[in-house]
Amino acid sequence: MELPRKPQQELDRAKKQIQAMESAESLDDFEHHWALFLHFIERVWNKSEAHFKQSPAWAGWRGKYVNMRSRDALITYLRHARNADQHSVEEITDRLPGGTTISNNSGGPITITKLDVTGGGPATYEADGHLDIAFTPGKVKLIPVTNYGTTYEPPTTHQNQAIDPSDVVGVARTGAAFYEDMLNAAVRKFCRDR
């Protein structure tokens, strides 16, 4: 069997969306790339099914992965988040607002005569004492998604290992690694041109 060019293209596209999330300049861009990641990562499976079904052994071999797509918290969530995004009008993410924290560790009042927190750089100020100023950027978070009447919570595990559902990029990386491992295993099993 030939190497699976189409599934690999979809995996490469999914990985590019992870890179785009990492460098997104706005929450809108981040959410856009998350939705595209979900689209492309699901296509890795669909294109693999189409490619490898030519082998009679594929039907039995794929069972392990079909099971994981139904039972593993991460893989199930990715699949159903993609379906909710594609086939409904419900949101698949939410946003945590950012903010600026100003602390005064001296215990007494400080008078601030000038404060500038714009421009994305460090905050500058003029005051009669020392301030600690911290900026927390806004963040996209995963939310429960509903697909065909069933609600799927953001994943906290993958293959019995804890994952952090608040790290959307980490969730995407872990999902992409799962499908990359699956594709590599299929190539080793079914392709003569390795």
pLDDT digits (tens, 9 = 90+) for 46-63: 999 999 998 999 999 999
Task: Report pLDDT digits (tens) over 171-190.
Answer: 999 999 999 999 999 999 99
- What pLDDT score was predicted for residue 119? 62
Instruction: Give how many domains the chain has, as a whole number.
Output: 2
**Pair (116, 177) in one structural domain:** no
| 13 vs 5: CA distance, rounded Å | 12
* In the predicted structure, residue 120 carries a pLDDT above the cut 90: no
**Pair (146, 82) in one structural domain:** yes
Mean residue pLDDT of the chain comes to 91
**Pair (46, 132) in one structural domain:** no
* In the predicted structure, residue 194 carries a pLDDT above the cut 90: no
Q: Which residues pair with 16 in a beta bridge?
A: none
Using CB atoms within 10 Å of the CB of residue 14, give its burial: 0 to 12 exposed, 13 to 18 middle, 19+ buried. Answer: buried
- What pLDDT score was predicted for residue 115? 80
| 63 vs 186: CA distance, rounded Å | 12
Domain that holds residue 118: 99-136
**Pair (58, 80) in one structural domain:** yes
What is the mean predicted confidence (pLDDT) over 84-104?
A: 87
**Pair (89, 165) in one structural domain:** yes
**Pair (87, 49) in one structural domain:** yes
